[in-house]
Amino acid sequence: MRINTKHYQIIHDCEKRYGSIMATPECELRQLQTELNHEEHPDIPIKWTDSNREKFEQMVIQMVDEGYSANAIAGELGAGYSTVKRVIAKYNLTVKGNFRWVLTDAVGNVYYATSKGQARKYLLGGTVGGNHDCIERQLVNDGYTVKYRQSIWADIANGDYYITPHGLFLKHGDDSYEN
C-alpha cells in the first residue's frame, strides 16, 4: 500500500487531535485502517451486508483459484485471516501451494517446486530433508538450474511441471491442480 497525501492528512489530523499517533485511541486507529483499506479496494464495502459478503466471498474464491494463499488474500483484501479461512472452508476450496523454486533441466522442461527438498525427492529420488545447499548442489550436478522465485498457480504455464508434497504433476489447464 502506497502512502498518498490523504494518508498524510489523516496522520496530521490525529497528531493535532491527540498529540501523536501513539496517543490516538485504538478504536479510532482501527476505523482509519478500515477506511484506508476501503480506499485501496473500493469494491469491498466498509459495512457488511449479505450482498456485500457474497461479493467478498466471490473475490476470495477467485483469488484461491488463481493460486493465492489465505495470508496473501487477507492482506490484499484487508480482511482477517480467519474470515478468509472461513470462506475457504465454507466452499471446500483447495489452497494451492506457494511455489518458491523454479528449476529447469537440460531439455528445457520447467519445474516449479514448493521446496528444494520436494524437488530432490521427486526429481532425483531420496528424502525431503537435508541441508539446502547440499540439495541445491545435487540438483545442479544432475543438470538442473535452480532459481528462487515466488510463483502462484496462475504464473505456471500449461505444460510446465509443478512439485507439491503430494507428487510431481503436469499443469494442463487452470483446474488441473494435483490431477
Q: Residue 178 falls within a domain, yes or no?
A: no
Tell if the pTM clears 0.85, that is, is over it: no
Q: Please indicate, yes or no, if residue 176 is contained in any of the structural domains.
A: no
Confidence (pLDDT) at 162: 92
pLDDT given at position 48? 54
Q: Provide the pLDDT for residue 123.
A: 92
Position 102 scores a pLDDT of 95
Q: Is residue 78 part of a domain?
A: yes
Count of positions (residues) in the chain: 179
Cell numbers standing for residue 31? 476505523
Helix (H) or strand (E) holding 149: strand 145-151
Domain region containing 15:
1-40
Look at residue 179 and tell me if it is in a domain.
no
Query: Which of 108, 73, 112 is CA-nearest to residue 93?
Result: 73
- The pLDDT assigned to 121 comes to 92
Tens-digit pLDDT profile for residues 130-156: 788 889 999 999 999 999 998 888 889
| Same structural domain, 87 and 107 | no
**Final residue belonging to a domain, choices 95, 126, 161:** 95
CB-based contacts of 47, cutoff 8 Å, min separation 6: none
Contacts of 154 (CB under 8 A, 6+ apart): 66, 67, 174
- List the chain residues with pLDDT less than 50: none
According to DSSP, residue 21 is labeled S
Q: Same domain, yes or no, for 110 and 148?
A: yes
- Strands 161-164, 99-104: pairing is unpaired
State whether 103 and 91 are in the same domain.
no
Q: Is 44 left (phi over 0), alpha (psi -120 to 50) or beta?
A: beta
In a domain, 146, yes or no: yes
How many separate domains does the chain show? 3
**Residue 55 and residue 35 in one domain:** no
CB 10 within 8 A of CB 21: no
**51 shares a domain with 64:** yes
Asked if residue 58 and residue 12 are part of one domain, the reply reads no
Task: Clarify whether residues 90 and 103 are in a common domain.
Answer: no
Give the Cα separation of 103 and 38 in Å (integer).
Answer: 39
Determine, yes or no, domain membership for 11: yes
